[in-house]
Amino acid sequence: MWGRDAGLREPYRNFHAWFDQEDPKRLRAKNREAEDLFRLTGITFNVYGRSEAEERLIPFDIIPRIISGSEWAKLSRGIDQRVRAINAFLHDIYHTQEIVKAGRIPKEMIAQNEAFLPHMIGVDVPGGVYTHIVGIDLVRTGPGEFFVLEDNARTPSGVSYMLENRETMLQMFPELFSKNRVQPVQHYPIDLRRSLAACAPKAAGANPTVAVLTPGIYNSAYFEHAFLADQMGVELVEGHDLRVVDGRVAMRTTHGYKAIDVLYRRVDDDFLDPLNFNPESQLGVPGIMDVYRAGGITIANAPGTGISDDKAIYSYMPEIVEFYTGERPLLQNVPTHRCSEPDALAYVLDNLEDLVVKEVHGSGGYGMLIGPTATRKDLAAFRRKLKARPKNYIAQPTLSLSTVPIFAQKGLAPRHVDLRPFVLVSPDGIKITPGGLTRVALKKGSLVVNSSQGGGTKDTWVLEE
């Protein structure tokens, strides 16, 4: 909210004037009201392996995170460029691998990568789109200065919070939206449906049938799966509702089997098809990969996209963007030390106190070390891990993240945030919803924003230019 020189940042001016006149007691009551609203609507996440009582709320903070129109425009150009590059990269590595031939990425980074899916070699995906939905995690370090933390190109989650946070703010503080010109996000589900339909395979008719595939009611993101299917007006299916019938993937309806053209799956690659991948999977559809390769269905996102958001590949993103777009990258990458390289490993071991160390395939903020706040014991443990399996880790410098205020016990207090804008890709183009999911580390000084570790969310405003 405040710039480096402690002055109020322009986009927050209107909001701050409003906030100053508000009674903190009323706001606190509103905060509780928001939580009740979330519970009633069922915006909860399940904790795996717990009883039904364990449906939790992600804490919601009523202070919006505000981004100016011009800053957003600049950011969007960078996201657009990066997403184009990711799709070109995926097409390339599953076809002729020009980037490897050009010597820009070592061959073993692809061939020996767990996220590389040999089943996808030579497959021409419908509409040429690999990543129908992308959620790029960014942090802001200064005016117009964003770093990409992670390119979530598999099945990014959290978009329901973007929509419900806005809905909640609209219900609680309608007056704020008449005073601030906030760009709307509500059209996302319709955009998503259009975007998915535009990627339908040749086998589809004029009005493609879209469905959302969920692992089921006990999955932690089940609410979001149901929410998106509901908002798009499409069926929410599970693996046992589907089977291959006459060369198409079809769902069991009350009146027989009906073919699906586009499947927005929220099931990981490994569980998608017990015949082709994990044979133990109950969540997928036996034979769906064969239908897919024959052009009978669109799977969104395409299988095998994990290779592009892998943390080891991440360090090559500047090269990847340049190679495919012929442009200089507009978004910055956090400088990344690949511990698989001996020089890098030596540097990391020497400077562990100043670095963040992450597992190459880790997610959810688990299995990472934050040097500056780690205990001596943690540091020693990570030194051993790094020496034992260097390939498993990357390290990055800690960034001086900008903060935004939350509504804490004693009024406004600064906390670290990240931002996940949601991007839709179709043959018609790339569409970025103005806003996204802002996650906030509620603990003072903390850098971990994951909801599984005490993070919360905020509404994200992008103002009209």
Partner 1 sequence: MLGKTANGLYWMYRYMERAENAARLIETGQRIALTRLNQTDKEWASVLRSGDCLQGYTATHDEMSRDLAVDWMLRSKDNPSSVVSSINAARLNARLVRTAITGEVWEAVNSAYMTLKKALGRKVSERELPSVLRLIRHHAALVRGVTHGTMLRNEIYDFARLGTFLERADNTARILDVKYYVLLPSARSVGSSIDNVQWESILRSVSARGGFRMEYGAGGGPREIADFLILDKRMPRSLAFCAGELSTNLGFLAKGGDVGQASRNKVRALENGLLSKSIDDIFRHGLHEFLQTTLKDLTAISRQIEEEFRFYA
Residues forming contacts to partner 1 in the complex (CB under 8 A) are: 39-42, 52, 217, 222, 226-227, 229-230, 234-238, 240-241, 251-256
Is 405 in contact with 396 (CB distance < 8 Å)?
Answer: no
Residue 311 CB, nearest approach to partner 1 (Å) = 34
Cβ proximity to partner 1, 38 vs 323, nearer residue: 38
Q: How far is the CB of 53 from partner 1 (least distance, A)?
A: 9
What's the number of CA atoms in the CB half-sphere (13 Å) around residue 150? 22
Give the number of other Cβ atoms within 10 Å of residue 268's Cβ: 17
For the CB of residue 380, give the shortest distance to partner 1 in the complex, in Å.
Answer: 46
Number of Cβ within 10 Å of residue 254's Cβ equals: 4
> Tokens in use for 323?
């190679």
For residues 448 and 463, what is the distance between their CA atoms, to the nearest angstrom? 27
Residue (209 or 438) nearer to partner 1, CB: 209
**Shortest gap between Cβ of 39 and partner 1 (angstroms)?**
7
Q: What is the distance of C-alpha 257 from the center of its chain?
A: 33
Query: Judged by CB, which is closer to partner 1: 15, or 222?
Result: 222
Task: Give me the least distance between CB of 442 and partner 1, in Å please.
Answer: 24
Please report how close the Cβ of residue 170 comes to partner 1 at its closest, in angstroms: 15
In sequence order, the 6+-apart residues with CB closer than 8 A to the CB of 379 are 352, 353, 369, 371
Contact (CB, 8 A) for 163 and 187: no
Nearer to partner 1, 196 or 302 (CB): 196
Task: Work out how close the CB of 248 gets to partner 1 at its nearest, in angstroms, rounded to a whole number.
Answer: 16
DSSP 257: E
Residue 102 neighbours by CB under 8 Å, 6+ apart: 323
Whether 311 and 393 have beta carbons less than 8 Å apart is answered as no
Beta-bridged to residue 426, according to DSSP, are 429
Shortest distance, CB of residue 223 to partner 1, whole angstroms?
8
d(CA 134, CA 459): 19
224 contacts: CB under 8 Å, gap ≥ 6: 157, 158, 159, 160, 266
What does 30-43 look like in DSSP terms, one character per residue?
HHHHHHHHHHHHT-
Report the nearest approach of partner 1 to the CB of residue 42 (Å).
Answer: 5
What are the Cα distances from residue 90, in Å, to 191, 352, 399, 406, 454?
Answer: 23, 33, 29, 39, 34
CB nearer partner 1, residue 231 or residue 363: 231
Judge whether 168 and 460 are in contact, CB under 8 Å. no
- Tell me the Cα Rg of the chain: 22
What token pair was written down for 182? 């906030």
CB of 289 to partner 1, least distance (A): 23
Peptide bond before residue 207 is cis, with ω within 30 degrees of 0:
no
CA 26, CA 32: separation in Å to the nearest integer? 10
Identify which of residues 33 and 235 has a Cβ nearer to partner 1 in the complex.
235
User: Given the complex with partner 1, which of 106 and 216 has the nearer CB atom?
Assistant: 216
Q: How many residues does the chain have?
A: 465
* Residue with smaller CB distance to partner 1, 226 or 379: 226
Which is nearer to partner 1, 235 or 322 (by Cβ)? 235
The secondary structure of residue 70, as a DSSP letter, is H
Q: Which is nearer to partner 1, 172 or 379 (CB)?
A: 172
Least distance in Å: CB of 237 to partner 1? 7
Nearer to partner 1, 169 or 334 (CB): 169
